[in-house]
Amino acid sequence: MSNVDPAGQQGGAADELARVSFEVMGRLARLAAEADLSLTQLRMLAILRDRRPRMAELAAALGIDRSSVSGLIGRAEQRGLVTREAATSDGRGVSVALTPTGRKFVAPLELRSNNALEPLLANLAPAERQTLERLLAQITDQQR
């Protein structure tokens, strides 16, 4: 990855973003494995913490096709973590939600996830952390 950023610098922001994402994915993959989950399953549970997306929306958010998300949901259903429900806006559609068991399972994972990622932020001053949070939100909000 030897890109030149718009300011003419070798590497640049895109390379740094890739490096950070690889580090984050590695830490979250280890966390997922400790919980007997795949990284995609962990991402799905994180999405479901505060949403009840339709299956198609969940597939899009995870970047996988509908048949793959169906299998992913099926495995989580077998563990009692999620349930499929008729979509409130459309009786033909299906949304996915965490079960009470799923919520109990996700809560400590969220804490462990934060603990796994916190060391990456340790050298940032409070103002830098706020700036980083704002910039990351700006990046992710562009994608929605």
Res 1 pLDDT > 50: no
> Is position 95 within any domain?
yes
The CATH number for 134's domain is 1.10.10.10
> Is position 54 within any domain?
yes
Among residues 106, 105, 104, 86, which one has the least CA distance to residue 96? 86
pLDDT in the model for residue 58: 93
Among residues 6, 49, 23, which one has the least CA distance to residue 116? 23
For residue 127, the 8-state DSSP code is: H
Q: Which tokens in the block code for residue 13? A: 């922001």
**C-alpha distances in angstroms, 71 versus 16, 64, 82?**
34, 11, 12
**What is d(CA 61, CA 82) in angstroms, rounded to the nearest whole number?**
17
Q: Which tokens in the block code for residue 55? A: 């299956």
> Is position 81 within any domain?
yes
pLDDT in the model for residue 22: 96
pLDDT in the model for residue 88: 73
Share of the chain above pLDDT 70, in %: 90
pLDDT in tens, 63-84: 999 889 999 999 999 999 999 9
pLDDT in the model for residue 67: 86
> Is position 24 within any domain?
no
Whose structure tokens read 């979250």? Answer: 28
> Is position 14 within any domain?
no
Give, to the nearest 10 degrees, the angle between helix 66-78 and helix 39-48. 80
pLDDT in the model for residue 10: 62
Give, to the nearest 10 degrees, the angle between helix 66-78 and helix 55-62. 100
Number of domains in the chain: 1
Mean pLDDT score, 44-48? 95
> Is position 5 within any domain?
no
The mean pLDDT value of the chain amounts to 89
pLDDT in the model for residue 80: 96
pLDDT in tens, 121-141: 999 999 999 999 999 999 887
pLDDT in the model for residue 93: 81
Identify each DSSP E strand in the chain by its residue range. 82-86, 94-98
pLDDT in the model for residue 94: 87
Domain range spanning residue 49? 39-142
If one compares 3 and 23, the residue with the highest pLDDT of the two is: 23
The reported pTM is 0.80
CB-CB contact of 72 with 64 (8 Å): yes
